[in-house]
A and B are shown apart, each in its own frame.
Chain A
Amino acid sequence: QKEVEQDPGPLSVPEGAIVSLNCTYSNSAFQYFMWYRQYSRKGPELLMYTYSSGNKEDGRFTAQVDKSSKYISLFIRDSQPSDSATYLCAMSEAGFKTIFGAGTRLFVKA
Chain B
Amino acid sequence: GAGVSQSPSNKVTEKGKDVELRCDPISGHTALYWYRQRLGQGLEFLIYFQGNSAPDKSGLPSDRFSAERTGESVSTLTIQRTQQEDSAVYLCASSTWSNIQYFGAGTRLSVL
Contacts and interface: CB of A to CB of B under 8 A. Distances in A.
Given A88-B43, A101-B42, A103-B42, A34 B100 contact: yes
B99 interface: yes
Contacts of A94: 97-99
Given A42-B105, A43-B104, A98 B42 contact: no
A98 B99 CA distance: 6
Contacts of B48: 97
Counting chain B CB atoms within 10 Å of each CB, the highest count among A32, A44, A95 belongs to A44
B48 to A, nearest CB: 7
Contacts of A34: 100-101
A61 interface: no
Contacts of A101: 42
Interface in B1-30: 4, 6
Nearest to B105: A43
Q: Which range contains the number of A residues in contact with the other chain? A: 20 to 34
Q: Which range contains the number of B residues in contact with the other chain? A: 20 to 34
A32 B98 contact: yes
B99 A43 contact: no
B103 interface: yes
B103 A44 contact: yes
Contact of A32 (B33, B100, B105, B108): B100
A41 B88 CA distance: 11
25 contacts: A32-B98, A42-B106, A43-B4, A43-B91, A43-B105, A44-B43, A44-B93, A44-B103, A45-B103, A46-B101, A46-B102, A46-B103, A88-B43, A92-B99, A93-B99, A94-B97, A95-B97, A96-B99, A97-B48, A98-B33, A98-B95, A98-B99, A98-B101, A100-B42, A102-B42
Interface of A: 32, 34, 36, 41-46, 49, 88, 90, 92-98, 100-103
Given A46-B103, A90-B101, 7 more contacts: A32-B98, A34-B101, A44-B103, A46-B102, A92-B99, A94-B99, A96-B99
